[in-house]
Chains A and B, each alone.
Chain A
Amino acid sequence: MKAVITVTGKDTVGIIAKVSTICAEKGANILEITQSVLSEYFAMIMLADINDLKVPFSDFVDELAQIGKNAGLDIHAMHEDIFNTMHHI
């Protein structure tokens, strides 16, 4: 099972570090990262394996959202199936 984590917001130091720390703590294995900075606006998409997650996925979602809120970022973790079903036949 994989999750897509998206992070958007104003670019600041240590965004990737913050998100990857949570992932490591909770047992989500980061498989892929793409990121871009467009005129101070930061957008990152992470694909993470969540098979060995130590907490329920919904708690993981909440925790990331909270970290985002504290840092003025928009962070969402969503099950990859929503993207697969919408874009692949």
Chain B
Amino acid sequence: MLNTSDILETINMIREENLDIRTITMGISLLDCVSEDENRLCEKVYDKITKRAERLVSVGCDIEKEYGIPIVNKRVSVTPVSLIGGAISPDGYIKLAKTLERAAQTLGINFIGGFGALVHKGMTEAEKNLISVIPEALNETNLVCSSVNVATTKAGINMDAIALMGKTIKRAAYLTRDRGSIGCAKFVVFANVPEDNPFMAGAFHGVGEPDSVISVGVSGPGVVSSAIARAGDCDLSELADIIKKTAFKITRVGQLVAHEAARRLDTPFGIIDLSLAPTPAIGDSVAHILENMGLTVCGSHGTTAALAMLNDAVKKGGVMASSHVGGLSGAFIPVSEDAGMIAAVEQGALSIEKLEAMTAVCSVGLDMIAVPGDTPEDVICGIIADEISIGVANTKTTAVRIIPAWGKTVGDSVDFGGLLGRAPIMKLNSASCAKFIARGGRIPAPIHSLKN
């Protein structure tokens, strides 16, 4: 039987502590849309997406209302389009991006992901063609997200691809210069990319997935933060327990929503992504969790340890609450999307080097970081290579979503609005690594990848 304090606790989490379901994402395979005629390909892609996800938004809204829990985003992820565009030209890929945009608008979803490629070991002509038009595609669409996987622990790091990523990011920043270089906020470079991630900009529908699948990303930094604040001066073992219990409750709601969405859409349930995803709203910050744990400011010494503990406790609590856990599953630390991170950067307490260290113990990587617009291409490639190496050496996912904001410099900020938030421009070590990047080739896989 339900008791009053349980009911009030749940209601308080939703109304006061910003508990929400960040996203219901439907993954859709486009492998059966392949055609050598680009118009026919686009037609088939549009038809498949709009048919499969026809009821996604309405079902999401119904669940939201019935259970009284906000579902912030409804999204679609598709097969990396480089896999279906083997026979089309670079212009054909732009047409395909516009088709994805049109499908997303028809459905009324918030984002569509999968305009990307997996090139961790090498690139086909199709993948080169796709990568060459990513900046144009990001400029000419609003809802299409793009990602490229440039390394895995098994394959090593494709440095030729990383060199192209530097070019891609700089060009996307230039093309979208009138909008704060927002193109770069929709593009992410990965190592060890998961094939079932429901979060943007990195979501795509992996080749090992069924024809369509429902995955859910939960949220809830505010709930964890409040639970820690209520705990007072307990020791860290006790604090880890409190985080685990809170993560369990949050994830149970995610599991309920995922189960209901899968049933109503007659689509298999994929995974719950256990990530603590912040938003720019007050009281929804991962940085504030760390500060409630006892740091004066996020970025101080002690931050990495606090984050490592938080990340581990969230997973331990969440894993029992869900039948299948996957995706990125960990605390996100996107600077522009987290009020506490923004404040820490503006105070000078949080540097890009500290963020890099933090990514070794939590989910994803250098996320939503704005840097001066005149940052040279090779420095961006160096930042990517460093971050990707952390993922490859530690057999974990890492990623870079960096915005060299056109015409901006340290002290300025770029405001994207909505969930993407506001990014203060961060100071960089701009010493050149051009010669290292220009060598190209592949960094071999680490010895511990040889597990057989």
Q: Is A79 at the interface (CB under 8 A from chain B)?
A: yes
A/B pair count, beta carbons within 8 Å: 56
Residue of B whose beta carbon sits closest to that of A80: B2
Q: How far is the CA of A86 from the CA of B413 in the complex (A)?
A: 40
Q: How far is the CB of A29 from chain B (nearest CB, A)?
A: 17
- Which of A58, A85, A87 touches B66 (beta carbons < 8 Å)? A58
- Which of A6, A45, A85 touches B253 (beta carbons < 8 Å)? A85
Q: For B10, B66, B249, B255, which residue has the most chain A Cβ atoms within 10 angstroms? A: B66
Q: Is B386 at the interface (CB under 8 A from chain A)?
A: no
Q: Is B236 at the interface (CB under 8 A from chain A)?
A: no
The interface size bin for chain A is 20 to 34
- Which of A34, A61, A77, A81 touches B256 (beta carbons < 8 Å)? A81
Contacts of A47 in B (CB 8 A): 2
Q: Is B274 at the interface (CB under 8 A from chain A)?
A: no
Contacts of A85 in B (CB 8 A): 252-253, 255-256
Q: Is the CB of A6 within 8 A of B249?
A: no
User: If the complex has contacts A76-B68, A79-B66, A82-B67, are A87 and B6 also in contact, measured as CB distance less than 8 A?
Assistant: yes
Contacts of B255 in A (CB 8 A): 85
Q: Is the CB of A82 within 8 A of B6?
A: no
Q: How far is the CA of A81 from the CA of B256 in the complex (A)?
A: 8
- Which of B6, B8, B11, B65 touches A58 (beta carbons < 8 Å)? B65
| Mask: chain B, 51-82; 1 = CB below 8 Å from A; 0 = not | 00000000000100111110000000000000
Q: Is chain B's binding surface mostly helix, strand, loop or mixed?
A: helix
| Mask: chain B, 228-259; 1 = CB below 8 Å from A; 0 = not | 00000000000000000000010011011000
User: If the complex has contacts A4-B7, A6-B7, are A82 and B62 also in contact, measured as CB distance less than 8 A?
Assistant: no
Chain B positions 1-19 with a Cβ under 8 Å from a chain A Cβ: 2, 4, 6-11
Residue of A whose beta carbon sits closest to that of B6: A87
Q: Is the CB of B2 within 8 A of A78?
A: no
Contacts of B253 in A (CB 8 A): 82, 85-86
User: If the complex has contacts A58-B66, A61-B65, are A83 and B6 also in contact, measured as CB distance less than 8 A?
Assistant: yes
Q: Is the CB of B252 within 8 A of A86?
A: yes
Chain A positions 1-55 with a Cβ under 8 Å from a chain B Cβ: 4, 6, 34, 43, 45, 47
Q: How far is the CB of B245 from chain A (nearest CB, A)?
A: 11
User: If the complex has contacts A6-B11, A58-B62, A81-B256, are A86 and B6 also in contact, measured as CB distance less than 8 A?
Assistant: yes
Q: How far is the CA of A69 from the CA of B179 in the complex (A)?
A: 39
Q: For A45, A47, A79, A86, which residue has the most chain B Cβ atoms within 10 angstroms? A: A86
Q: Is the CB of A86 within 8 A of B10?
A: yes
User: If the complex has contacts A58-B65, A61-B65, are A83 and B7 also in contact, measured as CB distance less than 8 A?
Assistant: yes
Residue of A whose beta carbon sits closest to that of B68: A78
Residue of B whose beta carbon sits closest to that of A56: B62
Q: How far is the CA of A58 from the CA of B65 in the complex (A)?
A: 6
Contacts of A34 in B (CB 8 A): 4
User: If the complex has contacts A4-B7, A6-B11, are A82 and B2 also in contact, measured as CB distance less than 8 A?
Assistant: no
Q: How far is the CB of A7 from chain B (nearest CB, A)?
A: 11
Residue of B whose beta carbon sits closest to that of A77: B68
Q: How far is the CA of A60 from the CA of B121 in the complex (A)?
A: 56
Contacts of B10 in A (CB 8 A): 82-83, 86-87
Q: How far is the CA of A81 from the CA of B253 in the complex (A)?
A: 9
Q: How far is the CA of A83 from the CA of B4 in the complex (A)?
A: 10
Give the 9 A-B CB pairs with smallest separation, nearest first.
Answer: A78-B68, A87-B6, A58-B65, A82-B67, A85-B256, A85-B252, A79-B66, A86-B249, A86-B252
What would be 19 A-B contacts, judged by CB atoms less than 8 Å apart? A6-B7, A47-B2, A57-B66, A58-B65, A61-B66, A76-B11, A76-B68, A77-B68, A78-B66, A82-B67, A83-B2, A84-B2, A85-B252, A85-B256, A86-B6, A86-B252, A86-B253, A87-B9, A87-B249
